[in-house]
Amino acid sequence: MRITVHIKLTKHTDGVEQIAEGEYVVKTTKPSIENKANEDIIRQLGDYFHVSKSLVTLVRGASSKHKTFLIEK
């Protein structure tokens, strides 16, 4: 399943929220340096979809706030 994710960097809360079919907002407190935010987003999506984080792949948007992920089930 391919999903589009909009990233919001926050200071206090993490979380995943579905805003439309195949579209999500992920909030992360991790900084966007050294790929820490992307790693946290992958972990959060794995938890949200109840899959291992190795089944969550960043397809597009590694340095963007709009990303595309592939979730394998």
Total Cβ atoms within 10 A of residue 68 = 15
Q: Look at residue 62 in the predicted model and tell me its pLDDT.
A: 93
Count: domains in the chain? 1
pLDDT value of residue 73: 84
Please give the DSSP secondary-structure letter assigned to residue 49: H
* pLDDT number for residue 71: 97
Contact 5, 71 (CB under 8 A): no
Q: Which CATH number do you get for residue 49?
A: 3.30.1200.10
Domain hosting residue 11, numbered range? 2-71
Cα 46 from chain centre: 9
Residue that the structure tokens 């979380």 belong to? 15
What is the rounded radius of gyration, in angstroms, for the C-alpha atoms of the chain? 11
Q: What share of the chain is helix, strand, coil (3-state, %, to 5)?
A: 25, 40, 30
Tens digits of pLDDT across the chain (73 residues): 999 999 999 999 999 999 999 999 999 999 988 999 999 999 999 999 999 999 999 999 999 999 999 999 8
